[in-house]
Amino acid sequence: MSPCRLCSRKSRVISEKLGFCAQCIRERFEAVWPEIARLHGESRRVYGLPESPPETEDGLQCGLCMHGCKPGEGEAGYCGLRVNRGGKLAGGRPHEGNLSYYSDPLPTNCVASFVCPCGQSPGPQQYIPVPDAEYTRYNLAVFYQACSFNCLYCQNYHFKHATFSKTRMSAAALAECADSRTDCICFFGGDPAPQILHALKTGRLAINRADGPIRICFEINGALQTPYLDTIADLSMVSGGCIKIDLKAWNEKTHMALCGVSNAHTLENFGRLAERTFRRPDPPFLVASTLLVPGYVDEDEVGPIAEYITALNPDIPYSLLGFHPGFYLSDLPVTSRSHAERCAAAAENAGLTRVHIGNRHLLGKAYT
């Protein structure tokens, strides 16, 4: 690994592409941000995405996510999907989903699998259509091809190629893909936020069409505007589904460096959703996760995240996920077992009762 460009410190893990160590990012952010911001800009230009949320004076206000973009005529919002065309915002409406989907056999390998009804025997009976664990049945996994963040380590960055795809699928057509063996639908991506109108309509139509219970879940970055956050919460709560929020970092400067945006809105929304967790403890309504990025997302990030969650409700499940190198941080190693175990210990020491290390098959040996 190369030394930090600012302090010349040779930390055990530093991305040469990012160029700076975690300590300098946290403590000397003003000095490192201009260069990191240029990297974020480069990573967006290659896909034709706006480098920053548009604020055109006579633009149309988009109120779906935290950015509140105001694209002018012909301009796209930060997500690249919402476009001002003829004085109307196109993209992300219920009849024009930009997505891919597949049927995933249950119990599925999702972030919440360790607390999901499909993995329990017996599970909460009012939310499952069969009396035992849901083997031989399916989750309809819906991947939305747009995002309101710009994570330099995105594990699914290939979706950026499809953000401007002209192929579209209506909510009604997608809902029909949930057949008699579909027990749940999970909206993820990218992120559902730019297409939340499409997801909400799909979920409602699927519930109305289903002969029995069908759970509606969301895996999101948590940056929705409040009205839509509350609406997806209502849908997941009543259907027995869950909302999985990726808390990517605690320190706002770390979050800015890695994801290009602030985490203030995400943390605020997580707290808002946590108020509902006492209404339905089983199956859990809210699940948190954090991707353990070597050198950047460690105990110093996970510990405060866990303390924050504990103060809200110590029984909120928290999954720590292994990182696989890719996109602009392809020069980093995979998460080591010792890294994951230290972070799990920090989360448990903070008072959380349900800490889980996910995708263990990705974990590697100690860093050299």
Render pLDDT for 65-108 as a digit per residue (tens, 0 to 9): 999 999 999 999 999 999 999 999 999 999 999 999 999 998 77
Q: Fill in the DSSP letter of residue 188.
A: E
8 Å CB contact between 99 and 144: yes
| 41-69 pLDDT per residue, tens | 999 999 999 999 999 999 999 999 999 99
Provide the domain count of the chain. Answer: 1
Helix (H) or strand (E) holding 106: none
3-state secondary structure (DSSP) of residue 165: coil
Q: Is residue 83 part of a domain?
A: no
Q: Do β-strands 99-105 and 318-322 pair in parallel, antiparallel, or remain unpaired?
A: unpaired
CB atoms within 10 A of CB 348: 14
**Calpha distance 35→150 (Å, rounded):** 15
- Which amino acid appears at position 112 of this protein? A
Crossing angle for the helix pair 299-312 and 337-349, nearest 10 degrees?
30
Q: Which two tokens stand for residue 35?
A: 């260069």
Residue partners of 269: CB distance under 8 A and separation at least 6: 222, 223, 224, 226, 229, 245
Work out the number of other CB atoms within 10 angstroms of the CB of residue 237: 19
- Could you tell me what percent of the chain has a pLDDT over 90? 83
Domain that holds residue 111: 99-362
Q: Would you say 258 and 323 are in contact if contact means Cβ atoms under 8 Å apart?
A: no
Question: Do residues 318 and 355 lie in contact, with contact meaning Cβ atoms separated by under 8 Å?
Answer: yes
Q: Which of 45-54, 129-138, 150-159 has the lowest mean pLDDT?
A: 129-138
Residue 59 resides in a domain: no
Residue 186 lies in a domain: yes
In a domain? residue 11:
no
Residue that is written with structure tokens 């480069």 in the block:
42
The pLDDT confidence band at residue 238, using thresholds 50, 70 and 90, is very high
**Two tokens at 184?**
């749940």
DSSP state of 25: H
44 contacts 148 by C-beta, under 8 angstroms: no
CATH number of the domain enclosing 329:
3.20.20.70
Place of tokens 């809902």: 175
Nearest Cα to 241, choosing from 134, 353, 112, 136? 112
* Cα Rg, the chain, nearest whole Å: 20
**Domain-embedded: residue 17:** no
Lowest mean pLDDT among 101-115, 124-138, 315-329: 124-138
* Segment 202-213, tens digit of pLDDT: 999 999 999 888
CB 218 within 8 A of CB 192: yes
Contacts by 37-40, CB closer than 8 A, 24 or more apart:
39/152, 39/328, 40/150, 40/152, 40/260
Helix, coil or strand: residue 123: coil
The reply to whether 343 falls in a domain is yes
In a domain, 181, yes or no: yes
Supply φ then ψ for residue 313, to 5 degrees.
Answer: -170, 110
CA distance 25 to 276: 35
pLDDT at 120: 61
Query: Higher-confidence residue: 349 or 132?
Result: 349
How high does pLDDT run on average in the chain?
Answer: 93
Over residues 255-282, mean pLDDT: 97
In a domain, 347, yes or no: yes
Write the DSSP string, 82-117: -EEETTEEESSSTT-B-EEEEEEESSP-STTTTTSG
Q: Strand, helix or coil at 327?
A: helix
The pLDDT value given to residue 125: 60
Quick one: pLDDT at residue 368? 44
